Structures are given as structure tokens and as C-alpha cells.
Structure 1
Amino acid sequence: MPALLDGPRLAPASGGEAKQLVIFLHGYGADGNDLIGLGREWAPLLPDTAFVSPDAPETIPGYFGGRQWFSLSTRSEREWEEGVLSAEPALAAFIEDEARKAGLPLSKVALVGFSQGTMMALQTGLRLPEPVAGIVAFSGHLAGATRLESEIKAKPPVLLLHGSADEVIPVAAIHLARETLAAVGVPVQWQIRPGLGHGIDGQGLLAAGRFLRACFGLD
């Protein structure tokens, strides 16, 4: 049985019922609190959107308070591929359950990942039974790219953002992802942030917010 996930939440800024839902997927060593604040930044663009940022299912031994979607030791392609496969069932169940509880179709749900969370967003969001509204992928990597053509079930629009000076996941990862996604018919946009390391900057945040508005049909 998949692990049960939960984490911090933000209700729509409008005070009404949620018309859309954004699910944040944090990076290695963080938890749900790391990204939930982005929901406040996007509230002017997405006033009727609820946000949830689940804690990854595993704690990291010796890493106080940090969590992981899957273990990292070698940081190899094989480890990433096996890791996303192992963590996918719990995340897929969470996404579908959150949509059901909010009374929303998957077409009104978006995934926003950072780093390891981006790996999970791309792995899971492209294999759900129906497409989500969109996927925002900050500073991540498309794990198991060679498997995608045979496994893809849904083709939501994807926005890839990466810092040119990323010291954790080299910027070359964005090119692998955009080429692989485009080759299987996924609508993909991409943006390299000059001089940015492994993080999210203001311009990337704004681009992502505008992308989500468009994905939700708000423009």
C-alpha cells in the first residue's frame, strides 16, 4: 500500500471554493514547508487556487528534519530511475486523492517540482490516467528518459526552468528533458536563468505563475 502523504496547505486567497489546485513537490533534504510559500507569491495570479505541499515519504538518516522522495547515495542515472519508480505509486495516489477531495478533475490540478521533486513531477505527471493542467519543473532532471516513449500516458504542458550556474544538477539536464519531451509530443517551454545556481529566482517564479494561469485557462 502506498505511503500516505500530507503537508502544509494554503486555501484560495479569494476565500471561496478552490477552482484549481497546485501540488508542490520539494527537493531532497527539505520538506513541504520549503515550497508552500510560493503559493502566497502566486496568489495575485491564482486567487481561486488552493495549494498543498506534501512532505516526501522518507526521512533521511542523520539529516535532522530533512526528507526525501527516494534515497540518494551514488546520484547516478540508475539510482534516479529506480528512485522515481519506487516513489511514484504514493505520489500518484496522493494527486488523485487530493483532486477527488477538492472536487476537481485532474485538468484543474498542476504539479510544481524542485530538484528531486521535479524528477517526481515528470515521472508521475506523465503517467497519470488523465493529463494534469501542467507541470512546472524547476532545477531538475528527467529520470529514465529512455523509458518515456513506451510508458507515457498523458501529455500535459511542461515548463522547464534551470539556472545556468546550477552546481547540483548541471544545466545540460534541461536540454535532455526538452528534447525528450518534445520527441514524444509533450508541449514544452523552457527557460535558462542566467547566473542562477540551484534555486528559484524572481523571474523564474513570475514565468511559472503566468504559465500556470495559462494552463488553468485564466488568460
Structure 2
Amino acid sequence: MAHVDFEKIEGILGYKFKDRHLLERALTHSSTGEEYSYQRLEFLGDRVVGLVIAQALFEKFRQENEGGLAKRHTALVQGATLTVIGQAHGLNEFIIFSNAEKEAGGHQNENIISDVVESLLGALFIDGGYEVVRDVILRLWGDNIETLVKAPQDPKTELQEWVQARGLPLPVYQIVSRDGPDHAPVFTISLTVQGFEPIHQEGASRRAAEKTAARKMVKMLKKEK
């Protein structure tokens, strides 16, 4: 069994697994070469979260028509939302990778994070049943269930809209360096917005570094308001 702080992740989820091998499987990326990985549990978790969110919306918004419920549902189960939830609760830090995938920035890969959130929910469903996984989803999603009507915006788009609304030049992204081996490159980029301190950010790809930098810049700009 891989070294995983089971008690810590169980504390985040608010549930103690009867079968910790199932929890381990939900966290295991295919890069490890193990005979099992999280993909089958992800398939199940995708269906589970869809049902739980649909039920929650049906009960909370009794006067809303089908179209309104569908819009909310789409926003709440999209990959971008799952990624934000996974990062907010630190679930991505528990994913089990090969060394190469870890060095390539796997713990910050947004697609992997959203997949693992689903696989964990699939594991919760198998180990604890519907009521358990429903309670966990409602707690992890929190107020988003009532307030989120569209998926979280791409941080680069959000930053661009912010500067345009204030008549500023567009953000400037530049590659500072590219290091590491070909199978696990590390890109360092700089992000500049006129009138503010630039941000330097590393990432496993240029796109990943730019998105993380944009997210940090947006957070900083909101504090400046």
C-alpha cells in the first residue's frame, strides 16, 4: 500500500473508510503502473455527483423550471468546478503519481484533479453508500449549490476582462525559462499588468504556468480594490 496520510484525507472528507485499499485506488494515477488506478471509480463518481447535485437542486429551487435547474447543474458538475473544489480542500495533494508525473506537475494538473474528485466520490459511494456520499458532496460544495449558476471562469479570461474594464493594456505573458528534461519540463513565465508588480510562476507547461499566474494576479487585484 502506498504511503498516504489516510487519516488526514478522511478528516477532510469527514468519513472513515472501512476499506482503505479502495481509498488508495481512488487516489492512484495510471502513471504508477499499478494494475489498478482511479479511472473506473471516476466513471462511477461522475454519475454519483450528477445525481446528488440534481437532487439537491430539485429540493432547493422548487419554483425553478427545468432549464434553470439544468443550467445550475451543468455549472456545479463541470470539470472546472470540481478542480476548484479539489484544490480548495487540498485533495490534489494526496494523488499518487509516478516520480516523473509528479515532477511534471501532476498535483496541479486541473484535469487530473477533477478526475480524482470524482473517483473519491465513487469510492465513498461504494464504501459508505448514497447517504454518506451525499453528505460529503453537500459539505464540499457548500454555498456553491445555491450561488453558482455558471462554471468558474478561466483565470486568464477573468484577468483580461478586469484590465479591459479599467481601460488598461492587455496582460503580457512571457517565457522566462524552460528547464528540466523533455519528459518533465518546467516552464517559468512572467505576467505583467500595467501598474502592478509582475508575477513569476513555474508550471509543467506554459499554459499551466500562465493560468496559475493569472489566478494569483486576479486574487491580488481583488485585494487592491
Instruction: State the TM-score, normalized to the length of structure 1.
Output: 0.29
Q: Which has the higher strand share?
A: 1
Bigger CA radius of gyration: 2
More relative contact order, 1 or 2 (CA 8 Å, 6+ apart):
2
Q: Which has the higher helix share?
A: 2
